[in-house]
Structure 1
Amino acid sequence: MNDVPKPPDPLCGPMKAMSPGVVDFLFRQLVTGAPPEDTQWRREGTVLAEQVPGAELARRLADTDLDSLTPMELFEYVRASQRLVAWAEQLKERAVAQYCSEQPARTPGSS
């Protein structure tokens, strides 16, 4: 009956979603006065937000460690994955249209 109340979980709210690596990165950015975004990405090549949908974007998304992304980078990751899904959906629609437009005489197995 006289249970001692539990202290609040220190990892709740926004901090629960942020990995220690992200927190460390943001702290270093704050100390140096740099922006919270990783501007190094722009110097190293095409950022995810500008990557053309296709095989390279799929590879980059698959190789990305989500735990190391800042909240803004994670947002861009989600937007890039949505672009990739839309691109793949267009490929599928073109293939279905091609399949449906073929004459019955061209179906596999008919002579």
Structure 2
Amino acid sequence: MNDVPKPLEGLQGPMKAMSPGVVDFLFRQLVAGEPPEDTQWQREGTVLAEQAPGAELARRLSETDLESLTPLELFEFVRASQRLVAWAEHLKERAVAHYCSEEPERTQGSARTHGPA
């Protein structure tokens, strides 16, 4: 009859993914009447969603503290990571195609230098 609720073992649902820093940020935004997204960093430079794939994007992703991201920022982080992976995959495919197209020349060149005189 009087079922006493059992204490939760850890956080469940969306709260499980939120670090204390994110919860604190969202609370401060709510109290100040601000949107839940951090709009300040958008004014400081190129946002991750608009950063071109390449070395700068890789640097920014590697230096990001995932624990401090809001859920929306984490989503943008994942999308930026996917763009970087696709860009790197394209570079790899171009390099393999270039290597394969020049393979006969390399084989002939090494046969001339190592073959019978």
Check whether TM > 0.5. Answer: yes
Give 1:5 shift.
Answer: 7.5
5 Å-filtered alignment, 1:1-111, equals 6-9=6-9, 11-107=11-107, 110=110, 111=113
Give 1:33 shift.
Answer: 0.7
Larger Rg: 2
Q: Per the alignment, do residues 103 and 11 of structure 1 end up closer, same or farther by CA in structure 2, a change over 3 Å counting?
A: closer
Structure 1 stretches of 4+ moved >4 Å: none
Q: What amino acid is aligned across from residue 54 of structure 1 in structure 2? A: G
Q: Per the alignment, do residues 37 and 95 of structure 1 end up closer, same or farther by CA in structure 2, a change over 3 Å counting?
A: same
Q: What amino acid is aligned across from residue 33 of structure 2 in structure 1? A: G
Gaps of 5+ in 2: none
Give 1:25 shift.
Answer: 0.2
Give the paired residue count.
Answer: 108
Q: What amino acid is aligned across from residue 71 of structure 1 in structure 2? A: P
Rounded to whole Å, the distance in 1 between the matches of 2:105 and 2:7 is: 74
Gaps of 5+ in 1: none
The RMSD of aligned alpha carbons is: 2.0
